[in-house]
Chains A and B, each alone.
Chain A
Amino acid sequence: MTILPDSFQKQLTALRETYTQQLLNKLQQIEDLWAERHVNWNNRTLAALHRMIHNLAGSGATFGFVTLSDRAFTLERFLRTIMEADSPLTLEEEAQVSALIAVLAEATQPDPLPSSRLDACLLSHPSPPLSKNNRIIFLVKEDPVLARDMMLQISYFGYTVRTFSNPSELRVAVNETIPAAIIVDLVSVDGGFAGTETIASIQHDREVPIPILFISVRSDLAARLLAVRAGGYAYFTKPVEISALIDKLDTLTAHQTPDPYRILIVEDEATLAAYYALTLEQAGMLTSLVTDPLHVMQPLIEFRPDLILMDIYMPSCTGLELAAVIRQLEAYVSIPIVYLSMESNVDKQLIALSLGGDDFLMKPIHPDHLVKSVTSRAQRSRILRSFMIRDSLTGLLNHTKTKEQLAIELSRAQRQNLPLAFAMIDIDRFKSVNDTYGHTMGDRIIKSLARLLQQRLRKTDCIGRYGGEEFAVILPNTDGKTASLVLEELRSGFAQIRHQFTGQDFSVTFSCGVAEFPRCPDVASLSDAADRALYTAKSRGRNQVLLAGNA
């Protein structure tokens, strides 16, 4: 960055002050123009209003008014849809514009963030703050052979591990990359810890501490206390159960941002629907629009909404009828349906709720209010749903849901003319694992395979626990050959994970059968073919992946 003269900062400040002074005036002009709708409203006034809003949207953030820009932009888009519709303003549109102008007028204070950002630039800090890398783990361990071994074990679960032989190396590395967690396994002469001071000082320098996991042969309170004082988040005694360690890493590095909420909007008026969609999307949600209520089934199945936002008065069928229909489908008994309506009569509202709706939001609704109401209901819906469709041990989709999902993904693949692969996985000789090491160990192995699949497959792949030790994976937009390669990699990774049982190590393998669409054209033939390939893989000696049709 070039060194900027002081005069630049002064000029910048002066420009921002001028803009701020003019802002109230501009908003007044906007309000005046909007008030004219009662006397003289035509396309020309609408265009003038749109233009003024457009200018605010395009300039606000440049002068530090980020919120103003965002709100003006929302209003600008709404006005544009009205202009494109080219019909007289409806009462609802009018109410929305008034509401949006009102929130716009509230944004005449500059946001603190951009101004401090500008100042920070002027002080010339070229490097952005280091961001935490969610998949990098640092491991400090003296013995290079053992360190490498542990690095491999952890990396099977999708983490990248960097090893260091002493704390000073670690200290240097932390200045360049911030890991998601640090694992410290250092033995001092007396069998206790070494390096706790360096670790504590690394921690001391940071505003946000890095999670540290200690591994030690000692299990006494004094040793644990030492670890806590050095900033330890967790403490493991040797030999370390790798799946317990991964459990801990998973919780420590858990995704900060969950999947966005999916909202299905059923509203016959396109401009309003677009406005709701925009408002929710700006709050980070995903939306799907249905303007003809009779077309609700397809998006309901394929978009998999967390919540349905529905207008009550629509031409072809009312929101109440539609809610009743949706409620009669078993799969959608629990999905929240929220009505948007001008209906203020409580008795009528209650009738609507008895027919299957969950709540009423009054139109016109303030954008913030809409976002908050929808968020809290979608969140609850998602938690409830996860109890219904997920396996309690592994958190994977349960049998019913997996089959349902296969049908959904397959029909999508058929429509878009894309390949799809379906894989069935079965842990080899699982019964003997249970008999030898006990059911607790068996559960642990099931969990470790589940975690491996979750870590290594794409977000768009569906993973289900089909039965006891049987798993199923749906890979959309993937042909059989590619899927086989992916599963082969998983098979080899899983076989290398070592499980500990009272000091003794053992490993477990799985067999897998893969089938592909379009070679198998429907759900039954896909799952049959995968099942048969799995059976052949077993009979050929287990611990292998087989693609159906290549037998």
Chain B
Amino acid sequence: MSSPGLVRILYIEDEPDIQAIARLALVAVGGFTVEICSSGQEALQMVTSFHPDLILLDVMMPEMDGPATLKALRTLPETTRTPVIFMTAKVQSHEVLQYKEMGAIDVISKPFDPMTLSSTICSIWASYHDHSS
């Protein structure tokens, strides 16, 4: 029940139009503090100053993809344990399992509905803390 508050979200996504609508959805609807990075490399810089509570990570990005970014994030002291949610196109349940085995707490499928993105994140956050406590 006493899950720590979710305030700061880092979203790693290379598509500018998705970036814009995600920012709107997370800030205006969800009331979160949000930073957005366009690549895994940029994110590795950002986390040293931003300290996110939660990271949203697009799976398919050029050069460094989602899983590779996750691996790199885990090597940094700031993000060794930060919960990560993968964002990806419609997935089947065995794929969700694969992503969870990589260390993601859940997967949100794209395209997302900007109206419900924040509440989806909140419920994943709540159930993650229910299970881990």
Contact = CB atoms under 8 A, between A and B. Distances in A.
Interface of A: 2, 4-5, 7-8, 11-12, 15, 18-19, 22, 51, 54-55, 57-63, 69, 73, 76, 114, 117-118, 121-122
Nearest to A50: B60
A68 to B, nearest CB: 9
B129 interface: no
A58 B91 CA distance: 11
Contacts of B60: 51, 54, 58
Interface in B97-133: 110-115
A15 B17 contact: yes
A196 B53 CA distance: 60
A15 B115 contact: no
Contacts of A61: 111, 113
Given A15-B21, A62-B18, 12 more contacts: A4-B28, A4-B29, A11-B28, A18-B17, A57-B89, A57-B110, A61-B111, A62-B110, A62-B111, A76-B89, A118-B114, A121-B115
A67 B21 CA distance: 19
Contacts of B20: 15, 18
B72 interface: no
18 contacts: A11-B24, A12-B114, A15-B17, A15-B20, A15-B21, A22-B17, A51-B60, A54-B60, A57-B89, A58-B15, A58-B110, A59-B15, A59-B110, A60-B111, A62-B18, A62-B112, A62-B113, A73-B89
Interface string B1-34: 0000000000000010110110010001101000
B90 interface: yes
Nearest to A114: B113
A2 B29 contact: yes
Contacts of B113: 61-62, 114
B24 A59 contact: no
Contacts of A19: 17
B15 to A, nearest CB: 6
B62 interface: yes
Q: How large is the interface on B (under 10, 10 to 19, 20 to 34, 35 or more residues)?
A: 20 to 34
Contacts of A11: 24, 28
B18 A58 contact: yes
Given A55-B15, A62-B21, A62-B113, A73 B90 contact: yes
A59 B18 contact: yes
A63 B19 CA distance: 12
A68 B62 CA distance: 23
A55 B16 CA distance: 11
A113 B60 CA distance: 28
* Residue among B60, B62, B113, B115 having the largest count of chain A Cβ atoms under 10 Å: B115
Given A4-B28, A19-B17, A22-B17, A118 B115 contact: yes
A495 to B, nearest CB: 43
B115 to A, nearest CB: 5
A54 B89 contact: yes
Closest 9 CB pairs of A and B: A58-B110, A61-B111, A62-B111, A8-B28, A121-B115, A58-B89, A15-B21, A19-B17, A69-B111
Given A8-B28, A15-B17, A57 B115 contact: no
A66 to B, nearest CB: 8
